[in-house]
Amino acid sequence: VGSLFDDPENLQKNWLREFYQVVHTHKPHFMALHCQEFGGKNYEASMSHVDKFVKELLSSDAMKEYNRARVYLDENYKSQEHFTALGSFYFLHESLKNIYQFDFKAKKYKKVTGKEIYSDTLESTPMLEKEKFPQDYFPECKWSRKGFIRTRWCIADCAFDLVNIHLFHDASNLVAWETSPSVYSGIRHKALGYVLDRIIDQRFEKVSYFVFGDFNFRLDSKSVVETLCTKATMQTVRAADTNEVVKLIFRESDNDRKVMLQLEKKLFDYVNQEVFRDNNGTALLEFDKELSVFKDRLYELDISFPPSYPYSEDAHQGEQYMNTRCPAWCDRILMSPSAKELVLRVSAHCPGPGCGGTWSPGSPPAQPW
């Protein structure tokens, strides 16, 4: 959500309107909102926008039925060792009774009342676990803000973890194109594996978990380019001084040698963006392979939305992708095997918006939310 704070006058108003519309449509009783790059690129200058955004969310008429809230904002941008720029919001509807949150230091649940905001140094907050990935996970990035925040909740005797996550990006389209899978894919696998091992280790009781945020999952670049440019010829452009490849140009074999794709470190300029939007980009899902490594540990429901990145940050071109990266499903909601069972059983019993119920797998249904 970084761009919301870089251009609050235009993007933030639109974003909040859309968010409130989703709340109105689905009428959720427990709502978790996980944000990454909270505060934008220039965090220090955006602090006033951050405060205004949080105040708006907590006091809006659209949210008046949510009488309890927890907000966790990593605002300690001066600490390179700890800063993740993650923001986790949890809203509880007034009709929801007896909600408990886990205290990781005391190792016990505490009843959730009122609205509370925690910011700056989250390391001392016992109601969550937060970690930034070690620098050696992504050595070519001098200063990253990648990590995770974990909270644990209990509703109607059903306990579950919610993990806000931000994984590493592709630093160069040219490097990503070189191998299949890419070197960046391997870095993301290592970081996600670390998170999963961390949340099921022996320190606490194991519960169902949902991991959602910006995984930065990318389509397998080499396969995508080969498919999009099947009948194209490739021209390589090298730097005069270093002989390093700086650009790849794919041209049609006929049709006046029309340029189909131009690829640079931060340029992915394909001639027809519609291929990424037609039928929600379903034809390209076969190249979405990064989750397959975790097929026994993580599940997700069917993807029914177009690639979520990189949309234009121009408010007047909201459905256009920027020509910086190959569009991909970076933003996902993943869950443990027991969490998937929970979701599917609840969906089978209660298909409509605003209806819910939750219980531990293998036990009788609890009271509806």
User: What per-residue confidence (pLDDT) applies to 67?
Assistant: 97
CB atoms < 10 A from the CB of 29, how many?
20
Q: What is the residue-averaged pLDDT of the chain? A: 91
Q: Give me the pLDDT at residue 144, please.
A: 81
Max mean pLDDT range (36-40, 174-178, 346-350): 174-178
Burial class (CB in 10 A: 0-12, 13-18, 19+), 123: middle
**In a domain? residue 55:** yes
As for how many domains the chain has, the answer is 1
Judged against a pLDDT cut of 50, whether residue 51 lies above it is answered with yes
| Whether pLDDT at 29 is above 90 | yes
293-334 per-position pLDDT tens digit: 999 999 999 999 999 999 998 888 888 999 999 999 999 999
Could you write out the three-class secondary structure of 317-358?
Answer: HCCCECCCCCCECCEEEEECHHHHHHHHHHHHHCCCCCCCCC
Q: Which amino acid is at 286?
A: E
- Residue whose C-alpha is closest to residue 191's, from 212, 221, 168, 170: 168
Q: What is the arithmetic mean of pLDDT over 17-31?
A: 96
CB neighbour list of residue 320: distance below 8 Å, 6 or more residues apart: 273, 311, 312, 314
In 10 A of CB 310, how many CB atoms? 17
How far is the C-alpha of 99 from the C-alpha of 162, rounded, in Å? 14
pLDDT given at position 356: 44
**Cα(163)–Cα(154) distance, integer angstroms:** 15
Asked if the model's pLDDT at residue 139 lies above 80, the reply is: no
- pLDDT at 24 exceeding the cut of 70: yes
Q: Give which of 157, 160, 119, 135 is closest to 32, Cα–Cα.
A: 160
Is 256 within a domain? no
Q: Which two tokens stand for residue 326?
A: 């190959």
What percentage of the chain reaches a pLDDT higher than 70? 93
Torsion angle, CA of 345/349/351/357, rounded to 10 degrees?
A: -80
8 Å CB contact between 29 and 96: yes
Mean pLDDT of 279-300: 96
Residue 212 lies in a domain: yes
121 dihedral zone (left: phi>0; alpha: psi -120 to 50; beta):
beta
Average pLDDT estimate for 13-20: 94
Bridge partners of residue 261, in order along the sequence = 250, 270
Q: With respect to residue 4, please indicate whether it lies within any of the assigned structural domains.
A: no
Q: What is the pLDDT of residues 58-105, one digit of tens each?
A: 999 999 999 999 999 998 888 888 999 999 999 999 999 999 999 999
> Tokens at residue 16, please?
């909040």
Q: For residue 199, which of 290, 102, 111, 288 has the smallest C-alpha distance?
A: 102
Question: Any idea what the CATH number is for the domain that residue 207 is in?
Answer: 3.60.10
- pLDDT, one tens digit per residue, over 225-278 is 999 999 899 999 999 999 999 999 999 988 789 999 999 999 999 999 999 999
Residues with Cβ within 8 Å of 144's Cβ and at least 6 positions away in sequence, in order, are: 133, 135, 138, 168
Domain span holding position 24: 10-219+282-316+326-348
Lookup: tokens for 363: 């036990």
pLDDT given for residue 74 in this prediction: 94
Q: Find the angle CA(73)-CA(184)-CA(335) to the nearest 5 degrees.
A: 55
Examine the pLDDT at 368 and tell me if it is beyond 80: no
Residue 263 near residue 174, CB atoms below 8 Å: yes
How many Å apart are CA 83 and CA 279, to the nearest integer?
38
Q: Is residue 269 part of a domain?
A: no
Q: What is the pLDDT of residues 333-367, one digit of tens each?
A: 999 999 999 999 877 776 555 454 443 333 333 33
Q: Decide: 263 and 177 in contact? Cβ < 8 Å.
A: yes
| Domain assignment of residue 267, yes or no | no
